[in-house]
C-alpha cells in the first residue's frame, strides 16, 4: 500500500468505505474524500480544508490515494509510516478503506447560503471587532451547533472563515469575533468600512468542532487569541445543559487587552460549580503588569495536568498552538479520540499561497 503524493489525472470514480460504520460512498474524478463525504451528507472531521491543521486525519487501511492540490504538511513521518491520510486533500487512486471518526451530530444540520444583516458592530479589543449578524428580511433563521463556523462569501469567489461565538437562539443572532490582520484586505474592510445595516452573504454551518456529549470525562478547553470564539460557544452550551463535569478553560494571548472577554469568562466560574478559568499571557512584561500567569498557554495546561489520559480536550487557535498541542498532549497520554480542535488562522486560499511559496499573507 502506498500513500505517496502525486498527481492523478483523469481518474475514474472510486468508492470509499468507512471501517467503523460500514458506510460507503463514491468519489468523483478529482474530488477529495472530504468533498465526496460532504456531498453524500456524511460528516467527517475537518477544519482548515488546506492540509495544514490535521483535523481530518484518518488511517488508510487499504487502497491508494494522492494529493494533487496541496501537500499534506500536517502529516509527519510517523503519521505517514502509520498510513495516515488527510481527507481534505486526499484524492483516491483506487477503492479505499479508511478508519475515520464520524461526527454524526453534524449530519442533521443542513448547510445553507443566505444573506445576513449587520445588526451590531463594536470593538472587543484594539484589533478585534465584534459583529452581530441576523438573517436578512425573507431569510429563515440559521441552525448550527455550538463551535461551528461560517464562510463569508466574497464577490471575487473567495471565502473567509470565521468561528461563530455563540449557540443558536430565538433571536437568530450570529456572533463573530473578527481579528484585524495588518494588511489584510477583508479584515481591514470589516474594521474600517463595514457598517451596521450592511449585508453580507455567508455559507453555514461548517466544521465539526462541536460538543461531544457522550462522555463523563472532565473537559479542558484551550484557546489562543480569537480561537476563544468557538470555545465560548461550546462552554456556554455545556453550562446551559447544567453539566456537572469539571471544566477548565485556558485562554492564551500576548497582552491583557487581547483577552477581550476575560470578565465574562471569569463570570462562568461563579455560574458553575466546577468551572475554572486560566488566563495566560506570553509577554513577560504584560503578564507582570497585569498580575496574570506568564507563558505559553499549552505549557500552562500541561503544568496543571501532566497526565491527560482521563480528559476530553478541546482547542482552538493559530496553527502553531494547535501543532504544539497535538504533539505534546499525545505525549501526556491523551488518546487521539479525546482531542478535538479547530485551526482558523488564515483562509484556505491564503494558506494555498503560503504553501505554494507565492505571496505572503496579504488578503486575510
The 312-317 sheet, strands edge to edge:
293-294, 275-281, 247-253, 219-224, 312-317, 339-343
Residue 359 has what pLDDT? 36
Which pLDDT tens digit goes with each residue over 337-351? 999 999 865 555 555
Could you please report the per-residue DSSP string of 165-208? -S---TT--EEEEEE--TT-HHHHHHHHT--TT-EEEEEEEE--
Tell me what the mean pLDDT of segment 304-308 comes to: 98
Query: And the C-alpha cell for 170?
Result: 430565538
Dist CA 349 CA 201 (whole Å): 18
Reported pTM: 0.86
Residue 309 has pLDDT above 90, yes or no: yes
Dist CA 307 CA 329 (whole Å): 9
Say which CATH class 14-102 falls into: alpha beta
Query: And the C-alpha cell for 314?
Result: 478541546
Strands (E), the chain: 14-18, 24-27, 57-62, 65-66, 84-86, 91-92, 96-99, 112-125, 128-135, 149-153, 159-163, 174-179, 199-206, 219-224, 247-253, 275-281, 293-294, 312-317, 339-343
* Domain ranges, ordered by start, for the chain: 14-102, 112-208, 219-343
More confident residue, 49 or 224: 224
In whole numbers, what is the pLDDT of the chain averaged over residues?
A: 90
Query: And the C-alpha cell for 205?
Result: 454551518
Q: Does domain 219-343 have CATH number 3.40.50.80?
A: yes
Fold for the domain defined by 112-208: Elongation Factor Tu (Ef-tu); domain 3 (2.40.30)
Q: How many CB atoms lie within 10 A of CB 237?
A: 18
Amino acid at each position: 500500500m502506498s500513500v505517496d503524493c502525486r498527481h492523478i489525472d483523469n481518474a475514474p470514480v472510486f468508492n470509499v468505505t468507512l471501517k467503523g460504520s460500514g458506510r460507503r460512498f463514491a468519489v468523483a474524478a478529482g474530488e477529495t474524500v472530504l468533498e465526496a463525504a460532504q456531498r453524500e451528507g456524511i460528516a467527517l472531521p475537518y477544519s482548515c480544508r488546506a492540509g495544514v491543521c490535521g483535523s481530518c486525519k484518518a488511517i488508510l487501511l487499504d487502497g491508494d490515494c494522492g494529493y494533487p492540490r496541496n501537500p499534506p504538511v500536517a502529516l509527519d513521518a510517523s503519521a505517514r509510516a502509520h498510513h495516515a491520510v488527510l481527507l481534505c486533500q486526499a484524492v483516491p487512486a483506487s477503492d479505499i478503506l479508511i478508519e475515520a471518526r464520524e461526527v454524526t451530530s453534524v449530519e442533521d444540520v443542513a448547510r445553507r447560503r443566505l444573506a445576513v444583516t449587520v445588526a451590531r458592530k463594536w470593538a472587543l479589543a484594539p484589533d478585534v471587532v465584534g459583529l452581530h449578524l441576523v438573517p436578512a428580511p425573507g431569510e429563515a433563521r440559521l441552525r448550527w451547533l455550538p463551535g461551528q463556523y461560517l464562510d463569508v462569501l466574497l464577490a471575487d469567489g473567495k471565502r473567509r472563515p470565521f468561528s461563530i461565538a455563540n449557540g443558536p437562539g430565538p433571536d437568530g443572532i450570529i456572533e463573530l469575533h473578527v481579528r484585524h490582520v495588518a494588511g489584510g484586505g477583508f479584515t481591514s474592510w470589516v474594521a474600517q468600512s463595514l457598517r451596521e445595516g450592511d449585508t453580507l452573504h455567508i455559507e453555514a454551518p461548517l466544521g465539526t468542532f462541536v460538543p461531544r456529549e457522550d462522555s463523563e470525562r472532565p473537559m479542558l478547553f484551550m484557546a489562543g487569541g480569537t480561537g476563544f470564539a468557538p470555545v465560548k460557544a461550546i462552554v456556554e452550551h455545556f453550562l446551559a445543559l447544567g453539566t456537572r463535569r469539571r471544566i477548565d478553560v485556558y485562554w492564551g494571548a500576548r497582552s491583557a487587552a487581547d483577552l477581550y472577554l476575560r470578565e465574562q469568562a471569569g463570570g462562568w466560574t461563579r455560574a458553575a460549580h466546577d468551572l475554572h478559568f486560566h488566563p495566560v499571557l506570553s509577554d513577560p512584561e504584560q503578564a507582570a503588569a497585569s498580575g496574570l500567569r506568564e507563558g505559553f498557554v499549552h505549557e500552562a495546561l500541561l503544568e496543571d495536568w501532566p497526565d491527560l489520559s482521563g480528559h476530553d480536550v478541546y482547542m482552538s487557535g493559530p496553527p502553531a498552538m494547535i501543532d504544539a498541542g497535538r504533539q505534546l498532549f499525545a505525549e501526556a497520554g491523551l488518546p487521539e479520540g479525546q482531542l478535538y480542535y479547530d485551526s482558523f488562522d488564515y483562509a484556505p486560499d491564503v494558506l494555498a499561497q503560503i504553501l505554494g511559496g507565492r505571496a505572503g499573507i496579504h488578503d486575510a
